[in-house]
């Protein structure tokens, strides 16, 4: 009986020791608490394994718990990250894939947070808060190299087009023509030198003529000002002449309205006087003595008497 109790006690003690050791090995009371976050990568995650480190500015803060394809878009990869609780994961935190040293072991690097940014929260319809990602260095280099290679390919094609047989032949002809032109210029070197000297003299003469143009232009300017003043004076004279013509016209109208009727009457009287003088002249020519003795009255006819019953007067002066 005693041996049975002793054996049972020993078994319980050993079991307790093993459980305590396992508990201590797993962390026990010192075990850290983790929060889960989601990061969606748009590139290949080759080299990244489960339990790969998650670092924040180089400090390890967690592990990669899950790597899976996005069912909605197979070109993307969903990463579930277990990050120590209390790590400042904010809305502007960015996750980037990096490789460690020459071994090529991939891990997730977090960074980019600012003090003013609010903590990252779970979006509506999501299970975990989503950390934004950006392309890794290898992806950026690959994109740059792809772009460079595409441009090199296009440049090579353009060079091949430029160096085609037809273009090479045209280039050869151009070089031959340039050689011929160079020979012609060399043969006419003396003429060219003479022409350059003449051109230099021409430029000198032009410079002197230009220097002399200054006073001439100034005189022309003064002449233009004089002409302008003369034009102004002519305009003023024309205006005064117009006013004078208007005044003369008014005087002519008044003369026509007032003097012309009197002149017409005078001309009528002069015409009557002229007719009287003409008759007197004709009468004088016929009977010059009539100016002295007057005109003899015409004797009355048979049976005629004067208006008073007496013979008419014997003589009567002729009124001029």
Closest of 57, 61, 58, 59 to residue 37, by C-alpha: 61
Structure confidence at residue 6 (pLDDT): 74
The pLDDT of residue 308: 44
Which pLDDT band, with edges at 50, 70 and 90, does 253 fall under?
low
Q: How far is CA 195 from CA 62, 189, 201, 319, in A?
A: 87, 10, 10, 113
Share of the chain above pLDDT 90, in %: 14
Q: What pLDDT, in 10s, does the model give residues 29-88?
A: 456 788 999 999 988 888 888 999 999 988 999 999 999 998 889 889 999 999 998 888
> Binning pLDDT at 50, 70 and 90, where does residue 285 land?
low
DSSP run (H or E) holding 130: strand 130-133
**Cα 176 from Cα 173, distance rounded (Å):** 5
Whether residue 180 has pLDDT greater than 50:
yes
Tell me the average pLDDT of the chain. 78
User: If you average pLDDT over residues 184-211, what whole number do you get?
Assistant: 82
pLDDT at 296 over 60: no
Per the CB < 8 A criterion, the answer to whether 60 and 10 are in contact is: no
Query: Which residues lie below 8 Å from residue 161, measured CB to CB, with a gap of 6+?
Result: 167
**Which of the given ranges, 21-25, 57-61, 159-163, 196-200, has the highest pLDDT on average?**
57-61
Both structure tokens of 225: 């000002």
pLDDT at residue number 54:
93
Cβ–Cβ < 8 Å for 131, 110: yes
Three-state SS for 300? coil
- Between 283 and 178, name the one with better pLDDT: 178
- For position 5, what pLDDT does the model report? 74
CA distances from 82 to 28, 48, 132 (A): 19, 15, 16
| Predicted local distance difference test score (pLDDT) of residue 318 | 42
CA distances from 43 to 136, 138, 144, 282, 310 (A): 8, 10, 15, 148, 169
- Minimal CA–CA distance to 79: which of 99, 57, 109, 102? 109
Determine which helix (DSSP H) or strand (DSSP E) holds 36, and give its type and residue range. Answer: strand 34-41
User: Residue 320's pLDDT band (boundaries 50, 70, 90)?
Assistant: very low
The pLDDT value given to residue 154: 87
Q: What pTM did the predictor assign? A: 0.42
């Amino acid at each position: 009986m005693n041996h049975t109790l002793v054996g049972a006690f020993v078994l319980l003690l050993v079991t307790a020791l093993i459980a305590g050791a396992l508990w201590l090995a797993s962390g026990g009371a010192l075990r850290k608490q983790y929060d889960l976050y989601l990061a969606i990568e748009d590139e290949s995650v080759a080299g990244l394994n489960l339990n790969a480190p998650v670092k924040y500015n180089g400090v390890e803060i967690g592990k990669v718990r899950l790597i899976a394809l996005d069912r909605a878009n197979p070109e993307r990869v969903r990463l579930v990250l277990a990050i120590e609780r209390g790590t400042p994961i904010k809305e502007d935190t960015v996750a980037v894939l990096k490789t460690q040293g020459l071994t090529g072991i991939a891990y997730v690097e977090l960074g980019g947070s600012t003090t003013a940014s609010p903590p990252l929260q779970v979006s509506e319809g999501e299970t975990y808060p989503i950390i934004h990602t950006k392309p890794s260095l290898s992806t950026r280099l690959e994109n740059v190299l792809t772009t460079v290679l595409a441009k090199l390919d296009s440049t090579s094609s353009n060079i091949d087009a430029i160096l085609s047989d037809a273009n090479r032949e045209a280039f050869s002809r151009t070089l031959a023509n340039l050689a011929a032109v160079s020979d012609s210029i060399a043969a006419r070197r003396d003429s060219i030198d003479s022409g350059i000297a003449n051109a230099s003299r021409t430029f000198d003469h032009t410079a002197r003529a230009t220097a002399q143009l200054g006073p001439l232009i100034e005189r022309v300017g003064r002449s233009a000002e004089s002409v302008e003043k003369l034009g102004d004076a002519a305009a003023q004279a024309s205006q005064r002449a117009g006013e004078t013509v208007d005044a003369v016209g008014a005087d002519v109208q008044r003369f026509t309205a007032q003097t012309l009727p009197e002149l017409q009457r005078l001309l009528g009287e002069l015409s009557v006087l002229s007719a009287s003088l003409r008759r007197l002249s004709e009468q004088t020519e016929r009977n010059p003595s009539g100016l002295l003795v007057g005109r003899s009255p015409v004797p009355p006819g048979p049976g005629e008497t004067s208006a008073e019953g007496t013979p008419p007067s014997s003589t009567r002066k002729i009124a001029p």
